[in-house]
A and B are shown apart, each in its own frame.
Chain A
């Protein structure tokens, strides 16, 4: 069958670059996301030290606690790599276990974030309190929403895997979910460095 006979849009057919179309499209989308988080992070930095009333970052940010949650998220990226390797090799048990682990670690990170947000609330920092509150909650909130979407995505894949619908030929779907997951992880590393560590 020559190139003319199949629709390249189907993703698995021959393409001009030889790359997979879904993967290229997803990379392009992540480029767009970079500008989105870039704008949020820049706003946080521009408004640093501009709050005219407390609580200020050094009064509420809990670096040891967030270091733990950051470590959890980093480990989830490792789990993602192992999950993909499992699916690609057709090792169903490895794939399923690590997919589930990514979702668990991601949820743990979200649990830490929920705890952190309530702590801040008790210390008098809300979305409306000051510029620090507004920029902090909106930035980390959007990041948390991205993690939530990722967890739902991974659980969907996990359920598919349980039903035996994740053979090695479909490893690309896991790979793309992985791209998203690593991206969200990298954004968090930027947030953790710029907001928590460099106060």
Chain B
């Protein structure tokens, strides 16, 4: 429809900024979602290059493609990138774009705070990557175990980048969590009861709760590390009575909920894609909501399964073995409900559907190996070997990334108004699926044969050379698939077929408005009367409302204070690197000035 004309007639005034300045000052949730998406895809490529470097080093025994020190930096940055700079933000990108549309809102609850989250995330990512410029990237693993990460054992700036960089990124995540919890509680359209919300929004809700509860624990762990490294405290130093295991407790108290922060959004995506392409409502909607929430809740009581090797004692080991196994129940419920949704449906295997089905298969494998090392005696044989690497890559590459790929094929038409190329998409899927299994499946065996993780090379006598070569070939195939994906995004954006407002004939509210949606999302906010507003009665009215000419709509104006405040916050932490005690205070003063302007800025 002719949106622009309608706007002029009805008195909707766009804020009229264009180009780079528009992107820098935008507070529109859709543009911020695109910024998050583009940034995380760039980090996906960087993290992928790091992975390929690692695999190239491991292609044959006793290889010297890169040095041991470089290897440490590469595997650490690979982990940090894929968790903090790709996995979390790419989910937030979809939360940003899709959640307000799914609940019938015009934006998130706090649009400027949303922009601030993005800019802090970007500054944190740039700060972390600036470490490569001086050749001192973090090298102590993404888990940064104390006391190896302490000044006496890591004297260089490497782990300073770690402790300060993650602190910056954590602030962005907490703000994002607060924003999305509030958005989902407050901004639902009339009739959009909690138990009518699409599963993706539900999983965004649970994930946001995990963000606001888990990230502060990481913040405290990192502050202790920072104090130890910069001001000589002894939180993790055994010589002064400190306990390195405290780091592990705090880190994994954050780290296990973090696993669900990474996987629940993918669960949400799959729960949208499968019903759409099975032409059936999601099987057991309520149970899916409860099981997702339960996973988030129990996820808080399992952290020490990462610490069986530290010797917690039989009672703690038994407790955490049992609690971890219990999580398999709600997770299994989800898997069976997806299968039951497909059962008897009119299946249509688009690329989005292929990735969702592939995700269920790969995630199930990762889940099963997870239950294997939930058993503490079993874990003692597997910990620190490639078996664990195989497990979490099945969950994160097979689960999270395939889920996100599925979501991007599914929502690309909504975001751009154009369809993605299905032929390229299917090449992307099959190459990725084959490459992923070639890379990670042999790692189970390599691990059980005793190949340790995080070691830059291995001896020929271990007899794992052939399997490692196979893994490396698999990783190159994934590299090719990733390039095809980027090519498909660019090509389809330029000359994809027009999509229309609901190309998949899907059921949820985001498909009611035009593709791409206007800045204000819905001409009139539709009233929701059921769980599948575009399938059930009243759908004509919902679409008519969504695409109606807008009445008077006030959208918040753009602002440059979010980016300035973000630069202030990142600079404050970066100035710690100078080791001049008053230097961060300069950054703090600048930040305070920005916060004041942010607070007093008019939003009308």
Contact = CB atoms under 8 A, between A and B. Distances in A.
Interface of A: 1-10, 15-17, 19, 21, 24-25, 28-29, 31-33, 35-36, 39-40, 43, 46-47, 50-52, 127-128, 130-131, 133-135, 138, 142, 156
B122 interface: no
A100 to B, nearest CB: 20
Contacts of A134: 227, 233-235
A127 B108 CA distance: 42
Contacts, number: 141
B261 to A, nearest CB: 14
B234 A32 contact: no
Interface in B498-529: 522-525
Contacts of B554: 6-7, 10
B412 to A, nearest CB: 26
A35 B213 contact: yes
Given A25-B110, A32-B215, A9 B232 contact: no
Contacts of B224: 43, 138
Nearest to B113: A25
Given A7-B555, A52-B241, A130-B241, A16 B231 contact: no
Contacts of A46: 243, 246
Given A9-B108, A28-B181, A39-B250, A4 B524 contact: yes
Nearest to B231: A127
Interface string B545-559: 100000111111000
B556 A9 contact: yes
- 9 A-B pairs with least C-beta separation: A36-B216, A39-B220, A134-B233, A16-B188, A25-B182, A32-B212, A35-B216, A4-B524, A52-B241
B178 A32 contact: yes
A133 B231 CA distance: 12
Contacts of A133: 233
B185 interface: yes
7 contacts: A3-B525, A9-B110, A25-B178, A29-B212, A46-B243, A131-B240, A138-B223
Given A134-B227, A134-B235, A24 B182 contact: yes
B198 interface: no
Most chain B beta-carbon neighbours within 10 Å: one of A16, A24, A28, A46: A16
Nearest to B253: A39
Nearest to B220: A39
Contacts of B604: 10
Contact of B240 (A24, A130, A142): A130
B217 A25 contact: no
B106 interface: yes
Contacts of A135: 235
A32 B177 contact: yes
Interface string B167-195: 00000001001110110011111101000
Contacts of A28: 177-178, 181-182, 212
Most chain A beta-carbon neighbours within 10 Å: one of B110, B241, B253, B596: B241
A5 B553 contact: yes
B219 interface: yes
B525 A4 contact: yes
B105 interface: yes
A4 B234 CA distance: 57
B524 to A, nearest CB: 4
Contact-residue size bin, chain B (C-beta under 8 Å from the other chain): 35 or more
B27 to A, nearest CB: 9
B227 A138 contact: yes
B1 to A, nearest CB: 17
A127 B109 CA distance: 41
Contacts of A16: 185-189, 192
Given A7-B555, A7-B556, A15 B227 contact: no
A130 B234 CA distance: 7
Given A10-B604, A21-B182, A131-B240, 20 more contacts: A1-B552, A2-B524, A4-B522, A5-B551, A7-B106, A8-B187, A9-B109, A10-B556, A16-B189, A21-B187, A32-B216, A36-B220, A43-B235, A46-B243, A50-B241, A52-B241, A127-B232, A128-B231, A130-B234, A138-B223
B207 to A, nearest CB: 14
Contacts of B219: 36
Nearest to A11: B109
Interface string B101-113: 0000111111100
A128 B545 CA distance: 64
B603 interface: yes
B242 interface: yes
A164 B280 CA distance: 60
B241 A131 contact: yes
Contacts of B240: 52, 130-131
A25 B185 CA distance: 9
Contacts of A25: 109-110, 178-179, 182
B234 A131 contact: yes
A98 B370 CA distance: 58
Given A16-B187, A35-B213, A131-B241, A43 B220 contact: yes
Interface string B157-174: 000000000000000001
A127 B227 contact: yes
Contacts of A2: 524
Nearest to B556: A9
Given A16-B188, A25-B179, A25-B182, A9 B216 contact: no
Nearest to A36: B216
Contacts of B234: 128, 130-131, 134
A31 B215 CA distance: 12
Contact of B111 (A6, A9, A31, A39): A9
Contacts of B110: 9, 21, 25
B90 to A, nearest CB: 22
Contacts of A33: 216
Contact of A128 (B217, B233, B241): B233
Contacts of A39: 216-217, 220-221, 250, 253
Contacts of B246: 43, 46-47
A174 B234 CA distance: 40
A138 B187 contact: no
Contacts of B242: 47, 50, 131
Contact of B105 (A8, A128, A130): A8
B201 to A, nearest CB: 12
Nearest to A128: B232
A73 B104 CA distance: 44
A92 to B, nearest CB: 21
Interface string B238-270: 001111001000100100000000000000000
A31 B212 contact: yes
